[in-house]
Structure 1
């Protein structure tokens, strides 16, 4: 449970205690606790994903698209394209063959040489009828270069990426993975070079 959620819960408890205190005629205790509880709920809400999620979704943009001709025989990125300059938050999209059963993960590698699995609250990329997509976040300086890497992952590797993201979110700290930490069950299938179109530091 993240610190922000704990703050929200404590805020609710303070308000409940304040209401009980006011019913018993103890306004000296109830009023300060009530005010403190409301302030904690406001802070916790506006700094947590509960409020930010919808506003973040609205900021997602789409990069240039690659035209796919003929049958799809492998997992392929459709957008963005190689050497594209993109916004801080984009929708990475692609295609996969009908027989494909593994999970698809987008991992970005900034200039810090760390690897960051991408997730839009569904963890693995969303797959349906031969197409996949996932929200991808960039947090560096304007013009910073990234490797955008596509992995096919078995169940074990996919579980590792999911649990890693959950731990990072809970700690509100995203240190990235070293190359040797990428599980053996994750196979790289494509790599693009992407550049940030604007300064994205502190955006997320």
Structure 2
């Protein structure tokens, strides 16, 4: 409840109580009591209907490959290799029905470090043979990135999740050296993309 709503409700209660207690002027009692009731109604309505607007992240989509069925391997279908991408994109792909491991996207910019990508669920979202994850770039226009898809066991997934949580807590996205990546994170596909815009400071 906001301070404005609290003040409105308190003033409404005071006005209503005053109308009950004050006996000298009936007209004044009626006016103040009505005003108090209106303030209470407004305060209650405001508290019940006004909620904080949730943050909704926006993203772009790149070019998309035609999927060939049946799907026989984990594959990136968007963006495509050598694509030019915006600062936030939805990386999408497909996987065969038999695939049951977690999927992660790692970005490797020109600094040579690796940056795991995640939504609120951390691992890439998988459903009915399709997967996706919001991918956030933070480099300069024209910078080349490698977009790497890996499959992981629970230990590697937890490592990436903890890494992202620590980076967020410190507000310092330092990247991972190749030797820090768990051995159980197995590379499945790697494509190259180029940034269309300057993305520094957009996150």
TM bucket normalised to smaller = 0.7 to 0.9
1:10-159 matches, cutoff 5 A: 53-54=55-56, 57=57, 59-159=58-158
Q: Which residue of 2 aligns with 1:184?
A: 183
d(CA) in 2 for partners of 1:168, 1:100: 30
d(CA) in 2 for partners of 1:199, 1:64: 20
1:174–1:97 CA distance, 2 compared to 1 (3 A): same
d(CA) in 1 for partners of 2:98, 2:189: 18
1:51 Cα deviation after fit: 7.1
Q: Which residue of 1 aligns with 2:193?
A: 194
The Cα RMSD (Å) is 2.0
1:62–1:160 CA distance, 2 compared to 1 (3 A): same
* Structure 1 moving runs of 4+ over 2 Å: 50-53
d(CA) in 2 for partners of 1:105, 1:52: 26
Structure number with bigger Rg: 2
1:128–1:156 CA distance, 2 compared to 1 (3 A): same
Q: Provide the secondary structure at the position in 2 that maps to 1:160.
A: helix
1:133–1:196 CA distance, 2 compared to 1 (3 A): same
**Deviations 1:77-133 (CA, angstroms, capped at 9, x unpaired):** 010000000000000000000011100000000000000000111100000000000
d(CA) in 2 for partners of 1:150, 1:144: 19
Alignment: residue pair count: 158
**Deviations 1:118-177 (CA, angstroms, capped at 9, x unpaired):** 011110000000000000001111010000000000111111000111111111110000
Which runs of 5 or more structure 2 residues have no equivalent in the other structure? 8-51
